[in-house]
Chain A
Amino acid sequence: MDSAFASATRKVQRLIRCDATERLLSYRFPRIVYRMSGGAEFSIEEREAGGRRLLLSGPYLVSSIGAIDQDLDALSGEIAEIDLSGVSEIDTVGAWVACRTARAHGAEIVGASERARRLLNAVEAAGGGEYQEPEGLAWWQPIPAKTGELVEKAQVGTIGVLDFLGQILIAVWNLLRKPSRFRGTAFVRQIELVGVSALPIIGLMSFLIGIVIAQQGSVQLEQFGAESLTINLVGRITLRELGVLMTAIMVAGRSGSAFAAQIGTMKLTEEVDAMRTIGISPVEALVIPRTLAAVIMMPLLGFYASVMAIIGGAVVGDLLLGIPFWTFLTRIEEVVPTHDLWVGLIKAPVFGLIIALAGCYHGMQVRGNSEEVGLRTTMAVVSAIFAVIVLDAFFAVFFTEVGWG
Chain B
Amino acid sequence: MIVPNAPQLETERLILRGPDAGDAEAMIAFLLDRERADGFGGYDHRGDAWRWFALNVGHWHLRGYGYFTIEMKDTGKPAGISGIWNPEGWPEPEIGWVVFEGYEGRGIAREAAERVRRYAYEDLGLKTLTSNIVPGNTRSIALAERMGASYERTYQNHHMGEDLLYRHPGPDEVLG
Q: Do A and B bind each other?
A: no
Interface residues of B (CB under 8 A from A): none
